[in-house]
Structures are given as C-alpha cells and as structure tokens.
Amino acid sequence: MEGKAKNKLLEYQAKAPKTKEHFAHLRKDGGWIEREDVMIKYLNRHGKLTIGYGSRERTGVELQLGHTLGDHYEEPVLLIKAAWGGHSLYQKFRSPSSGLPPGEKLAGELEKARERTKKKNEKRKKNDPLPTMEDIKAGYGVSWREMLKEVRGTLENYETLFPSLKGATPEITGFVWFQGWNDQYNGAEIEYASNMEHFIKDVRKEFESPELPFVIGMMGQNGSKEAKGAMKVIQDAQMAMEKLPKVKAVRTDVLIDKAAEALYPTWRENIPEWEKVGSDHGYHYLGSAIWLNRIGKSFAEALLELE
C-alpha cells in the first residue's frame, strides 16, 4: 500500500502530550530524523528515510519498518518501495505462474470493456477503437512487471541514487507484501491463496533466492470487529502461506489505533477532533500514523525472525 497518514497528522501527534511518546524515537532537535543508514526509493522519490514516503504529503509503514531494521543492522539498509493503490493480486499484480484466468472470464471482460468504450464513444461523439483480447490480457501482470522494473532499476543505479552506498554490494534479504482490498470483488478472493503462493514462488525465482524471507501483512481493515465474507477469505489465505518456508503472516487488525477507530464513524461531524487521530478512510487504515507505525514495526520484527 502507498501509505495514507498525512504528514500534518504526524506533526501534530509528535507534539501532543497524549501521543508524542509514540514518535519520540523518530525525532531529534524538534524535527524528524533523516536516517543516514537507511535509504529509500519510492517511484520518483529517493533519499534518506524520513516522513513523506507515502502518497503525496503522507507517510506509510515504511517509516517505522526502516527505523527498526536500521537499528538492528550494522550495514546500511535500502528500502525499495513499489506500491500503486487499488491494484489486485488477481489482475495487475498477477505473477507469471498463475497464468491467465479461464477463457470465459476473459471473454466476459472483453465484452464489458467493449460496451464501456461504445458508450463513451456515443457520449463524447468519438470513434475510439474497441478493446481487443490482447488488450485484456495485457492488463494482467502489469504491476508485477513494473515492480520488477522498480527493483532492478534501483539495484542497477543505487550508487547514483545513493552516493553514500557507493562501493557497497546490495543483497536482497527480505520482501514485504501488504495488500488485499481490491481482491474482495467479483470472486477474486477465491483465487487469492493460489495467486499468493504463485507470487511468492515467482518473486523468489526472479531473485534467485528460494528461501527469501517473505512477510505478508494480513488485511486488517476490520479493526476491532471480526472479519467476514471476502475479507475473511483473504485473511485466511494470507495466513495459510505460512506453510511455505520462510514466510510469516502478520495480523494488522490487532494493532489498530483505537482512538481513531472510535472517532471514525462520526468524523464528518467532528472534523477538528478527527484530524488529531486520523486522516483517511477505513480501507486506508484510517490514515492513522500510530496504526501504520505499529504495522511497520511488526513487519520489521517478522523479517528479522525469518533471518
């Protein structure tokens, strides 16, 4: 996930008496620490780890994840973050060994895509070409391919991107996966376990590391409530991946910021109070900096357990 905790929320909570202890270790001399020993590359941004490496002017789990790993290792740490919100494992992140969905599924998608294009053409008085089956197939795995491109591109150019790492030899030592919301629809959850297992095996094959430590952040938008339906199916599928070597699934619902959870149902009527605890909707973990920091720490600890 990109990460949706607004930086202005972090700034407020880092100074507020009730919450400042959660952020004290991330700050020095009244500002946010920029780690000299932890670098990060996130799409078109790169530099020393600090706040702001989520969506625009926001922060995600990478902040506390990187701090925890940086505190553990004597060697420098490089985080390569490849995240595009709203992408499913069923389609855009689908890895090669999952193959394509059955022909009838693709045919149904093609028919719907053609109908959408026809309606747009009629509404806008255009004559755009109708989608082809090749267009439909090309949408599968597009984010998988972009992810590999991001990782390989960073590793090829790390000395230019991060001059302080010049002369170092990079080694891929772990992979974190945190996703699931968009696989709750149209029956995609039924395939989640199969697609996740293929994904893990394909990642390890691509980087020639058969037992690369792999941490899965389980869907946790249910928070203090019990997960049901498609979300529960996906959670169970994510937990089931622990049958593979060096894979650990981390529950994120149990880490919820209960202050943000309590205010969220009435946030529109209490915006000033809400902005002291959260900054986004439930599917984005309430944009809670505390929740995302807890998740990041748990991911790092899980990686270290798998060493």
Query: What does 202-255 look like in DSSP terms, one character per residue?
Result: HHHHHTT-TT--EEEE---TTTTSPP-HHHHHHHHHHHHGGGSTTEEEE--GGG
pTM for the model stands at: 0.96
Q: For the beta carbon of residue 224, count every other beta carbon within 10 angstroms.
A: 10
* Residue ranges in the chain assigned as alpha helix (H): 7-13, 62-72, 103-124, 133-138, 142-156, 158-161, 188-206, 229-240, 258-263, 271-274, 289-305
pLDDT tens per residue, range 131-184:
999 999 999 999 999 999 999 999 999 999 999 999 999 999 999 999 999 999
Q: What is the pLDDT of residue 131?
A: 96
Q: What phi, psi does 243 have (nearest 5°)? A: -70, -20
Region 282-305: mean pLDDT is 98
Give the total residue count for the chain. 307
pLDDT tens per residue, range 93-127:
999 999 999 999 999 999 999 999 999 999 999 99
Do residues 191 and 206 make contact, with C-beta atoms less than 8 angstroms apart? no
Coil, helix or strand at residue 4: coil
The model's confidence at residue 229, banded by pLDDT at 50, 70 and 90, is very high
Q: Which helix (H) or strand (E) holds 30?
A: none
- Do β-strands 27-28 and 31-32 pair in parallel, antiparallel, or remain unpaired? antiparallel
Coil, helix or strand at residue 284: helix
| pLDDT > 90 in the chain, percent | 99
Q: What is the pLDDT of residue 175?
A: 98
d(CA 110, CA 106): 6
Helices 188-206 and 229-240: angle between axes, nearest 10 degrees: 30
Q: Which helix (H) or strand (E) holds 81?
A: strand 77-81
Residues 6+ apart with CB under 8 A from 271: none
Q: What is the pLDDT of residue 1?
A: 86
Residue 209 has pLDDT above 90, yes or no: yes
What's the farthest any 2 CA atoms get from each other in the chain? Answer: 62
d(CA 74, CA 183): 38
| pLDDT > 70 in the chain, percent | 100
First to last CA, the chain: 24
Domains in the chain: ranges and CATH: 5-95+141-305 (3.40.50.1110), 100-139 (no CATH)
Nearest C-alpha neighbor of 184 from the set 230, 153, 223: 230
pLDDT tens per residue, range 41-79:
999 999 999 999 999 999 999 999 999 999 999 999 999
d(CA 254, CA 250): 10
In whole angstroms, what separates CA 107 from the centre of its chain?
Answer: 30
Residue 30 has pLDDT above 90, yes or no: yes
Distances (CA, A) of 43 to 63, 75, 84, 146, 294: 16, 24, 10, 10, 24
d(CA 273, CA 242): 40
Residues 6+ apart with CB under 8 A from 272: none
Residue 296 has pLDDT above 90, yes or no: yes
Q: What is the pLDDT of residue 143?
A: 98
Q: What is the mean pLDDT of the chain?
A: 97
